[in-house]
Amino acid sequence: MFFYFVLIFLILRTCSNVSEQAHHVSRAKRGQAIGSIRGFRGCTVWLTGLSGAGKTSIAFQVEAILVNHGIAAYGLDGDNVRSGLNCNLGFSKEDRKENIRRVAEVAKLFADSGQICLCSFVSPFEEDRQMARQIHKMSDLPFFEVFVDTPLNVCEARDTKGLYKKARQGTIKGFTGIDQMYERPVNPDLVVITENCTPEESAATVIDLLEKQCIIPVLQKPSMPIRELFIPESRISSAKTEAATLQSLEISEIDVQWLQILAEGWAAPLTGFMREHQYLQTQHLKCLLEDDKEVNQSIPIVLAIHTEDKERLNGLSAFTLKYKNKALAILRRPEFYFHRKEERCGWQFGTNNLGHPYVKMIHESGDWLVGGDIEVIERIKWHDGLDKYRFTPNEIRSKCKKMKADAVFAFQLRNPIHNGHALLMQDTKKRLLEERGFKNPILLLHPLGGWTKDDDVPLHTRILQHEAVLNEGVLDANSTLLAIFPSPMMYAGPVEVQWHAKARMNAGANFYIVGRDPAGIPHPNKNATPDGNLYDPTHGARVLSIARGLQSLEIIPFKVAAYDKKYKKMSYLDEKRKEDFEFISGTKMRCLAKAGENPPDGFMSPKAWFILAQYYQNLEK
């Protein structure tokens, strides 16, 4: 028994300088990737270097990139392994050797299972690293030694765990780089420099190594811009001349909104309004097949035209799209096909009831659809004072990079922000920081800015309200990017929710917060369903968690928030004291605003409420 307590004491003393490292990729997310790309890719990437060199940051970044592309990968970190498997080992030369031997054997099993195992270990001795390589060689498994070559003074300046300070003080003995030698790799497969480089840039060199060694296919790089459909500036003049000579089609305001969606790359890889084969994939599969890869596209982006226009334009190689007689784009190689409205509405909305506003618009639109590649002459502007918030996906990616984001989490809304929404966004940021190891997650606050039904709060009011929420500090303005998503609202429930998520994925979001009843609408016949809604409020989140073609986006499920009367604030619902909570519906909120009354304290920031109340009171007048 005495020996047992001595052993426990030694283990606890050994692990006192070890801290758990959080993965950027959750188990649920990793599980989605297994088997989604065919072919055996098992290997081990061994990252060696001083403590603080950046080994784990690079490994976890590579892991996230691979998993996002459907390639199974797992990062083994030195601290994590010493917290469990090797918690009985110290830092003597013999224990270091045994530490590396065990890890190499575990990595070999990961590689043999078909996963790419990313090992982040100081592993200061050349002999030990060669032993790890030999263990893999004996099993005919690829092994790549990656030297993260960060100078000692840089590592010591970082000292994120405070270990160098302890080593200098003599609290830690045998610390590599201080009183324990580090043997530089003799012939590494790759040398990575981290000084003056971001983890993303360093990780890209490891991805490049795996591509060159034919372990993985060539991946689309995060730095590669989303394809936009604007005509290059050098061709604008000639394009305008050509557009003036072509026959034209006058399109509606909502058509222009969809044109903007296509032009800016929100619906990439689409290069224009859908042709029939793309329309069929979207209607029935909810995704497009692009280079044998599934890309989510749950809603059809189509251009409806009337029979007389179809007969006039049929047989042309191109024609001009105009709005209010202004040429906006050229549609090339047009393809006409019949607009089966009932079938479309059945698949997209689950109803053909004309009480649904978008269904009504479809039934009133043309009997034909025309697809084709589009070339958009100039950036679409609305001149409503809000164009400064209309950023393309590429611009959002660039702005997040300038903000030094290591993760982007998106929240889509078409309603004013109350403190329940804010709670969810604040909680997501906290989880990304504390549980997932991110250092600077950025919130993409992304209100929908296209067409909405008449009784929704208009965009201009919503933007003023959102600005007030940021100005009052309810959300951190320094880590939030407010931008407008130009899509029309369709109120298509779980089908539309996938579109909202896919578009944010194109804008560079890694995480997507899905709310309760996203894209929902009351049933045109309120007695037809138990709750009076056309769609179950929970189905959007449930469908999104299993949707196809969203591999690089992790879904953050909505938690039910309500007003806590006991503590006078918005809180997550506590089932044990449900009587303390009040659900303040949109209808009740509108009634309070119209009557000039205030909601309960803590429901919404005062300045944000004032803007909303003014809108409803002016509406009454």
Q: 481 has which bridge partners?
A: 444
Distance (Å, whole) CA 18 – CA 166: 13
Q: Which domains does the chain have, with CATH numbers?
A: 36-213 (3.40.50.300), 233-376 (3.10.400.10), 387-619 (3.40.50.620)
Nearest to 190 by CA among 201, 198, 200, 202: 202
Q: Which tens digit of pLDDT belongs to each residue from 530-571?
A: 999 999 988 998 899 889 998 788 988 778 889 999 999 999
Q: Comparing 288-292, 348-352, 613-617, which segment has the lowest mean pLDDT?
A: 288-292
Q: Give the pLDDT band of residue 21 (cuts 50, 70, 90).
A: confident
Asked if the model's pLDDT at residue 11 lies above 50, the reply is no
List, for residues 396-405, the tens digit of each pLDDT value.
999 999 999 9
Predicted TM-score of the model (pTM):
0.82
- Class of residue 70 by CB neighbours under 10 A (exposed 0-12, middle 13-18, buried 19+): middle
Give me the phi and psi of 118, to 5 degrees please. Answer: -110, 110
Q: Which of 29-43, 69-83, 502-516 has the lowest mean pLDDT?
A: 29-43
pLDDT for 15 beyond 70: no
Spatial distance between the Cα atoms of 281 and 292, rounded to a whole number of angstroms: 13
| CB 85 within 8 Å of CB 106 | yes
| HEC per residue, 395-418 | HHHHHHHHCCCCEEEEEEECCCCC
**207 has a pLDDT exceeding 80:** yes
pLDDT at 350: 96
pLDDT band at 352 (very low <50, low <70, confident <90, very high): very high
Of 26-40, 107-121, 345-359, 606-620, the least confident: 26-40
Q: Given a cut of 90, is residue 161 above it in pLDDT?
A: no
Residue 33: its pLDDT value, please?
A: 53
Pairwise CA distance, residues 524 & 129, whole Å: 68
107-149 tens-digit pLDDT? 999 999 889 999 999 999 999 999 999 999 999 999 999 999 9
Instruction: Return the pLDDT at 32.
Output: 54
| Residue 12 confidence (pLDDT) | 45
pLDDT > 70? residue 521: yes
Give the tens place of pLDDT for each residue, 494-520.
999 999 999 999 999 999 998 777 788
- Give the strand pairing for 318-323 and 326-338: antiparallel
3-state secondary structure (DSSP) of residue 464: helix
CB 336 within 8 A of CB 325: no
- pLDDT of 1 reads 42
User: What is the phi/psi pair of residue 513, to 5°?
Assistant: -85, 120
- In three state form, how does the secondary structure of 486-555 look? CCCCCCCCHHHHHHHHHHHHHCCCCEEECCCCCCCCECCCHHHCCCCECCCCCHHHHHHCCCCCCCCCEE
Mean pLDDT of 284-304: 92
Q: What is the mean pLDDT of residues 23-40?
A: 62
Q: What would the 3-class secondary structure string for 481-505 be? A: EECCECCCCCCCCHHHHHHHHHHHH
Nearest to 567 by CA among 585, 583, 580, 584: 580
Question: What pLDDT shows up at residue 5?
Answer: 39
Q: Which distant-in-sequence residues (6+ apart) come within 8 Å of 298 by Cβ?
A: 282, 286, 287, 495, 496, 497, 498, 499, 502, 547
Q: What is the mean pLDDT of the chain?
A: 91
pLDDT score of 515:
76
C-alpha to C-alpha distance for 143 and 338, rounded to whole angstroms? 56
CA nearest neighbour of 62 among 125, 182, 144? 144
The partner residues of 330 in beta bridges, in order of sequence, read 320, 375
What percentage of the chain reaches a pLDDT higher than 70? 94
Place of tokens 């003014």: 614
Tokens in use for 290? 């692009």
From residue 4, how far is each of 10, 11, 89, 90, 602 by CA, in Å? 10, 11, 15, 17, 54
Q: What are 614-621's contacts with CB under 8 Å, separation 24+?
A: 615/457, 615/458, 615/461, 616/590, 617/593, 619/594, 620/594
Mean pLDDT of 233-250: 97
pLDDT at 29: 63
Lowest-confidence pick of 71-80, 98-107, 366-375, 474-483: 71-80
The average pLDDT across 575-583 equals 92
If DSSP states are collapsed to H, E and C, what string results for 164-214? HHHHHHCCCCCCECCCECCCCCCCCCEEECCCCCCHHHHHHHHHHHHHHCC
User: How many CB atoms within 10 Å of residue 531?
Assistant: 12
Phi-psi region of 35 (alpha: psi -120 to 50; beta: other; left: phi over 0): left
Please tell me which residue, 160 or 54, carries the higher pLDDT value: 54
